[in-house]
Chains A and B, each alone.
Chain A
Amino acid sequence: MIPPQFEYYAPVSVDDAIQLLDRFGGDAKVLAGGQSLLPVMKLRLAEPRALVDINRIPNLSYIREEGDHLKIGTLTRTNDLNDSELIRARYPIFSDAASVIADPLVRNMGTVGGNVSHGDPANDLPACMLALGAVFLAKGPKGTRTIPAEEFYVDTFTTALEPNEIMVEIQVPKALMGQGTAYVKLEKRAGDFPIVGVAASLLEAKGKVEGAGIGLTAVGSTVLKAREAEAGLVGRAPDEAAFRGAADLARSASHPVSDLRGPAEYKKAMVAVLTVRALRRAHERARGGA
């Protein structure tokens, strides 16, 4: 299969890229890793008039801590998360997720910015961003604005990003002492989209949960933030009873549909199971375990 005709542009600056997107007024798509975009173009599910390839723009690929944030450049490849010592040591939730996104070859091309901004509720990184309270930097003709992850996902393949904006950076609050994070994914076979995925973050101090974040993958029209489950954990001891309580609330917050990956009821049950597992692992890591 060959995609339909399109005009191809490879600008070397973000500003030039934005100008191009603006000129095509919503009829152009940004080409980052292309691992989702090119397959949907081959299937004619997307037929943009133009592609704006941002891969020739310098300085969009980095992972670094700066100020109060972990900053990830939009063109950072998924496998770069796996290879990063900083990520492994301080943000293991991203190692968990990056090692189960598609397969190693796809991860060599696929980008963090693309995974996060595609708006596919079955992508793995968005739930992590919700659990961690990340914000996204979007640049457009009017300048740069920040969009909190929890306001970003509007509907399936629909995000708060305007057609003439490019997500340039992902900012995650810097990991704190006593914080543990994890992502757990259930898949039918290696490299598949998830049946269910759960991202969890726990901030613990003096035997109590001080802050919690839970994001759910593939169980709604967007990724979901399990707010009641998060709130229910705060102030409690991080134990099995608390985790099971949160799991029940996360299950209630999920709205999966029945499909080839399983009936809705099964997926809801798995949300509960995976929430407990993710919280357990986050808790172990908060206490300094791997």
Chain B
Amino acid sequence: MALAESPMEAEEEARFAPLYKVTAKVNGTPRTAEVEARTLLVHFLRENLGLTGTHIGCDTTNCGACAVLLDGKAVKSCTILAVQADGRDVMTVEGLEKDGKLHAIQEGFHEEHGLQCGFCTPGMMMTSVAFLSKHSNPTEGDIRHAIAGNLCRCTGYLNIIKSVQYAARKMRESKGGGSA
């Protein structure tokens, strides 16, 4: 369609923007919505699916508050189109808790006071979950590098790192120990 010439036309155009059907497996359940091509994944999650645990922070690919897992990898959902997630696996912070039991990373943030205002927390946890699935016994330096794309404006990084270390320990123990 041509670029709109006037506000009126822009309005017309927006009203008749074609919709694309997106079906993604979100936290294990197939979810479908019809969205515009320009709809960002974060808006699909928050507005179409009502999963408001994923936050919109900077909206400029800096802060990581919107981090979710796409096919198991941590990504910034403000910089991905919803249509790109069609047919793929998405995991949000709502998918961490299972049967009323907190995930080790949630327990870690709780036990080690890993949050102050809590705004960055969902993104911090999703990034950490993806990281811990590949690195079961990380050093502090490894963790700092892993969360380099997640900003905490309260600057509570020390406790965030302790929280991730707590989760790493907990996840190792539940797998029957070992230091690999």
A interface residues with partner B (beta carbon < 8 Å): 1-8, 10, 31, 34-35, 38-39, 42, 47, 49, 51, 53, 55, 102-106, 108-109, 190-191
Contact = CB atoms under 8 A, between A and B. Distances in A.
B2 to A, nearest CB: 8
A34 B81 contact: yes
A5 B79 contact: no
Interface stretch (B24-32, B95-103, B141-149): B141-149
Closest CB pairs A-B (n = 6): A103-B149, A8-B37, A105-B149, A108-B73, A3-B38, A103-B148
A5 B13 contact: yes
B138 to A, nearest CB: 13
Give the dominant DSSP class at B's interface. Answer: mixed
Nearest to A6: B37
Interface residues of B, number: 36
Interface string B33-44: 000111110010
Given A5-B14, A8-B20, A104 B80 contact: no
Contact of B60 (A6, A39, A47): A39
A104 to B, nearest CB: 5
A109 B18 contact: no
B61 interface: yes
Contacts of A108: 70, 73-75
B59 interface: yes
Given A2-B43, A5-B1, A104 B59 contact: no
B81 A191 contact: no
B79 A35 contact: yes
Contacts of B1: 5, 7, 49
Contact of B148 (A8, A109, A191): A191
- Give the one of B43, B73, B74, B84 with max A CB within 10 A: B84
Nearest to B4: A5
B120 interface: no
